[in-house]
Amino acid sequence: MEVKLWNDKREREMYENFAELYAIIKATEKLEKAYVRDIISSSEYETECQKLIAHFKTLAFTLKDTVPSIESFADTYKMDCPAAINRLVTSGVPATVEHRAAAATSATNSAAIVAECVQNFITAMDSLKLNMVAVDQVHPLLSDLSASLNKLGILPPDFEGKMKMKEWISRLSKMGAADELTEQQARQLHFDLESSYNSFMAALPSACT
């Protein structure tokens, strides 16, 4: 006897989306393990990881009403994929973007990276002043800033700016691309950027000596 998993087209589409989400999480877990074990190159990893994150973000937005928590989804379907959950939900960017800096930074390019950080701080703060508060406007700016801060090896891993940008990127990754920050959120983000910028400038002299 044939057993149907769905009763109508809408329900069928939901289960198909569930299957796709399941596949993305599994693929990301395998990709993370392959990268950690040096089975694939950093460039291959980053390209594939960015694709998976983009697909995940689109699908998560589509399923936000039926799957409010990705962690709960993973638990329901007995998915042991901690690396994938961290990459897709918590981080929202490839590991290479998070850690690129530390391995590549040298004294000769520190000045250029410092200038890049300053520019990214200013761009992010100015965009908020211009009321550019949609997730797809803010997320790329914070990702660029986070990447430039991570490139600067003279900053400690727990540097205020790194931690706050990681928190904001994680928060934005759980929102839809068209969602907008509330006035309170935008104000808090601007405050965090300004505070992180001041800490960044204050850290440079002691970090460079």
| Average pLDDT taken over every residue of the chain | 87
**Tens-digit pLDDT profile for residues 53-107:** 999 999 998 898 889 899 999 999 999 999 999 999 998 889 988 776 555 545 5
The two most distant CA atoms of the chain are separated, in Å, by 76
Regarding whether 71 and 139 lie in a shared domain, the answer is: no
Q: What is the pLDDT of residue 107?
A: 52
Closest CA to 95 of 60, 53, 156: 53
Identify the band that residue 147 occupies on the pLDDT scale cut at 50, 70 and 90.
Answer: very high
190: domain CATH number is 1.20.120.1130
Euclidean distance between CA atoms 90 and 88, whole angstroms:
6
- Boundary residue ending a domain (36, 66, 93): 93
- Boundary residue ending a domain (40, 62, 93): 93
Indicate whether 40 belongs to any domain. Answer: yes
Tally of structural domains, the chain: 2
**Tens-digit pLDDT profile for residues 4-44:** 565 777 888 888 999 999 999 999 999 999 999 999 998 99
46: domain CATH number is 1.20.1440.200
Q: What is the pLDDT of residue 202?
A: 87
Regarding whether 86 and 113 lie in a shared domain, the answer is: no
Regarding whether 86 and 53 lie in a shared domain, the answer is: yes
Q: What is the pLDDT of residue 109?
A: 66
Q: What is the mean pLDDT of residues 97-123?
A: 75
Regarding whether 16 and 86 lie in a shared domain, the answer is: yes
Regarding whether 142 and 76 lie in a shared domain, the answer is: no
Q: What is the pLDDT of residue 209?
A: 40
Domain with 152, as residue range(s), is: 107-203
Angle between helices 110-129 and 183-208 (to 10 degrees): 160
- Boundary residue ending a domain (58, 93, 128): 93
Regarding whether 178 and 113 lie in a shared domain, the answer is: yes
Indicate whether 209 belongs to any domain. Answer: no
Regarding whether 121 and 70 lie in a shared domain, the answer is: no
Angle between helices 135-151 and 95-104 (to 10 degrees): 30
Q: What is the pLDDT of residue 14?
A: 86
Indicate whether 88 belongs to any domain. Answer: yes
Regarding whether 126 and 42 lie in a shared domain, the answer is: no
Regarding whether 195 and 113 lie in a shared domain, the answer is: yes
Regarding whether 117 and 196 lie in a shared domain, the answer is: yes
Q: What is the pLDDT of residue 102?
A: 52
Identify the band that residue 123 occupies on the pLDDT scale cut at 50, 70 and 90.
Answer: very high
